[in-house]
Amino acid sequence: MKADAGRPHADPLVTAAEIARLAGVTRAAVSNWRRRYADFPAPATDSTSSPLFDLAEVRAWLDAQRKGQEMSPEVRLWQQLRTDHGDDMIGGLTAVARLLARREEIGDAALRPLVDELAADRSPAELLAGLTARFAESSGRAGSDGITSPHLVRAVRHFAGPDVPGRTVYDPACGIGSLLFAFRPGARALAGQELDPARARYAELRAEVTGPAGVTVRAGDSLRADGLPELRADLVVCEPPAGAADWGREELLLDPRWEFGVPSRAESELAWLQHCYRHTAPGGRVVVVMPASVAYRKAGRRIRAEIVRRGLLTEVVALPPGMAATHALSVHLWLLRRPTGPEDTADHVRMTDLSANAPDGPFEAADDQTVPVARIDLLDDTVDLSPAAYISARHTDFTAQYAATRAEIKERLERLLDTLLPPLLEGTAESFQERATVGLAELARAGLVETTEGATVSTSDQLDTDYINGFLHGAANNRRSTSASGTFRLDTRGARIPQMAVEEQRRYGSAFRALTEFEQAVAQLARLSERTTTLARTGLTTGTLRPPAP
């Protein structure tokens, strides 16, 4: 019987990632065991995205398969948290943090000895950091709200620049503090706000356990109820909630934070961007994680244009897919800087495309991955801030590529007409109408052909494969085989082909084969033509190509 989701289970429960640690293998190996072994323990919960398994059953199965290892103290502590708190692992981590901060002198009878055992050979900060990392890894995409992935933390740190001693760093959607606390080295103060009170409480305790002082975390909705309205930070970092339609637009229409324009309901990310900018001190910087679609959506065009026109946007970085904890899509980093005066603005916006890199880096852009773009070149009808749109244009040799593709099209056209399209002579339809035919089903029953989806193969030297498939795709059999949706499906029951000597079959087969090759070559030529016309239009409209003089 499966336990109800979110309720504590009588026995400890573990995730697939924890089973992998217990057995000393990868998560892929655990997934493989689940597929290969029918006796692998069934999930104890109904969750399909991050199922939990009964620890006792898993250990018994590992012992039977001789795949288990001695359970480490970390695993025993984690399993106790699963037993006590079920899916509420933030509550479990908070209980550990309270013990480490000596907020609970007695604490849970089962939890305290496990925490004390681990704390005997490591600092409280190291212990809590390890548990937090385990939580981030085992949550899965469905349970990752409030967590900034380690990949994304490293990327934001890289593009935020070197640590500056004595600065103030602010994160208005700090979750459990993953991104905010990454900027602790050298910072004078860290400030954050988090909508979920449980996550905010855990972030507070993390700061208290790991030190040093100077960390402030408020619970509440930063957009609707700004808990730090007077704060002006040297660096503002944020991974805002993506796609939140109910962000408070109607009640915040006249809010002074919207100095670039009031975001639409569908553009909550642009509300967070302006909130971050509002909290930035003169000369300070903003690094915000954005969905890639914010760079080009029509609803946000005016706000994008305003931040470009004012010279506030300094760089847009397209990161590789898989960087975010909650989804696998590509995200962008938008970097802004608040000027110290009227002349202290950016003349260019650097466009950087790292989408082809691995999620763990490198984050240093190669020469063909980055390009500065003048503000005036961004302020067109769409104000598209997608880096790929500008990098591909700047790093393409339009003249050479257009000449090469034009020559290739010419060569392919000549080959199509001269060699691929077979010469055919006049025939008489009446001769085929009088010719005897044989059904494909009969040939299959006799073992002379084998049919697969969309094709038939001859198994006899008296039947030519190309001849058979050519007639099967002819007009008569097409009428029998084409579905109402227009999809061709071979009708093995009704399809028929004319009977003829094998030498004649081969002549027909050769013609059918040439037609198939011609059809494939035309399709390739169509794709090449599409790329060439796109290349030519882009070159003509960007000034890298021009028509010849008359």
At 421, the amino acid letter reads L
**Distant-in-sequence, close-in-space partners of 319: CB < 8 Å, separation ≥ 6:** 152, 155, 330, 331, 332, 333, 354, 355, 359
Place of tokens 């067109």: 380
Q: How many other CB atoms sit within 10 Å of the CB of residue 194?
A: 28
The pLDDT tens digits along the chain (550 residues) read 344 444 444 567 888 888 887 777 767 778 878 888 889 999 887 666 568 888 888 888 888 876 555 566 777 788 788 888 877 888 889 988 888 887 655 556 778 888 888 888 788 888 888 888 888 776 554 445 678 888 899 999 999 998 888 999 999 999 999 999 999 888 899 999 999 999 999 999 999 888 767 899 999 999 999 999 999 999 999 999 877 888 999 999 999 999 999 999 989 999 999 999 999 999 999 999 999 999 999 999 999 999 999 999 999 999 998 888 777 788 999 999 999 998 899 999 999 999 988 888 889 998 889 999 999 999 999 999 999 888 876 666 778 878 888 888 888 888 777 766 777 888 776 666 677 888 888 888 888 888 776 678 888 888 998 998 888 888 777 665 555 555 555 565 678 888 889 999 999 989 988 888 888 888 888 888 887 887 788 778 777 788 888 7
Q: How far apart are CA 387 and CA 369, in angstroms?
A: 9
Residues 183 and 169: beta-carbon distance below 8 Å: yes
Residues 289 and 331: beta-carbon distance below 8 Å: yes
At 487, the amino acid letter reads T
Q: How far apart are CA 301 and CA 264, in angstroms?
A: 11
Residues 451 and 463: beta-carbon distance below 8 Å: no
Least Cα distance to 2 among 43, 49, 41 occurs for 43
Q: How far apart are CA 208 and CA 262, in angstroms?
A: 38
Angle at 329 between CA 307 and CA 33, to 5 degrees: 160
Q: What is the DSSP letter of 263?
A: P
Q: How far apart are CA 301 and CA 295, in angstroms?
A: 9
Q: How many other CB atoms sit within 10 Å of the CB of residue 196?
A: 16
Least Cα distance to 375 among 413, 339, 347 occurs for 347
Conformation bin of residue 242: beta by default, left when phi > 0, alpha when psi is -120 to 50: beta
**In terms of DSSP bridges, do strands 280-291 and 331-337 run parallel, antiparallel, or are they unpaired?**
antiparallel
Q: How far apart are CA 333 and CA 319, in angstroms?
A: 7
Q: How many other CB atoms sit within 10 Å of the CB of residue 15?
A: 24
Residue 104's alpha-carbon distances to 86, 115, 211, in angstroms, are 21, 12, 18
3-state secondary structure string across 425-489: CCCCHHHHHCCCEEEHHHHHHCCCEEEECCEEEECCCCCCHHHHHHHHCCHHHHHHHECCCCCEC
At 64, the amino acid letter reads A
Least Cα distance to 94 among 11, 9, 201 occurs for 201
Q: How far apart are CA 187 and CA 190, in angstroms?
A: 7
Q: How many other CB atoms sit within 10 Å of the CB of residue 274?
A: 23
Name 206's bridge partners: none
Residues 60 and 169: beta-carbon distance below 8 Å: no
